[in-house]
Amino acid sequence: MDFAEWEPVYEEILADMGYDRSDDEASVRVLKAVTLNSDLISGDEAAETMADRVTVIGNAPCLEDDIKRKGAEGSILCSGSAVGRLTTMGIRPDMVFTDLDGDIGPQIDASSEGSITFIHAHGDNQELIMSYASLFKGPVVLTTQSKPEYTVFNYGGFTDGDRAVCFAEHFGAKEIRLLGFDYDHPMPKEGSDPDVKLHKLSWAKRIIAGRLNVV
């Protein structure tokens, strides 16, 4: 998804959620500053490693059952919070999409083992960025939900899972499979307001519903 297509949706999200665009852009500046010595790559470079078939991993309670029944095939794009659960099942993600919340240790470990990490800046994760962003030793792509710039990219999406879907579609994945997605019954997360999470997932559902090649 190009920014011209994404920006009207983004403006709707800001108004609906009560967020401030300037806060998102301030977080981008922090992210750029703390990753100066990181192994930064572009989204195009990351996409060169992606197969035609993609499995996007969400963090819903149904994840393990989905994987056992359906299998994870092609390139594995994983939301940050689900990385630990995925690696427990013996699967290392090819790409991780994270705003650095949830269980951060498995995300850092996956990076050290070669997973490409898409680190996302938004208005209320500046402290997490300062604490963790520089610890990712593998390839890193910087992303924003506001206007992209030279080293910070935006392919659309609001939560980790739908950002992964938007990235896969943007770069031409012919089939995008979803495992561990449940917009009505999210995995509980310490420090997270469940009502806000449900509201965010309603946006994720809407964004993914508009994407092509999602099965």
Dump pLDDT digits (tens) for 122-175: 999 999 999 999 999 999 999 999 999 999 999 999 999 999 999 999 999 999
**Which uninterrupted H or E stretch holds 117?**
strand 116-121
- Reply yes or no on whether the pLDDT at 191 is more than 70: no
In a domain, 58, yes or no: yes
Q: Cβ contacts of residue 128 below 8 Å, gap of 6+?
A: 99, 100, 101
Please state whether beta strands 95-98 and 116-121 pair in parallel, antiparallel, or not at all (unpaired).
Answer: parallel
**Is 191 a domain residue?**
yes
Note down the domain range covering 65: 3-209
Instruction: Report if residue 214 sits inside a domain.
Output: no
Per-residue pLDDT of 52-68, as tens digits, reads: 999 999 999 999 999 99
Give the number of domains in the chain.
1
Q: Does residue 203 lie in a domain region?
A: yes
Question: Is 215 inside a domain boundary?
Answer: no
Mind listing the pLDDT tens digit for each residue in 9-52?
999 999 999 999 999 999 999 999 999 999 999 999 999 999 99
Residue pair 44/118 in contact by the 8 Å Cβ criterion: no
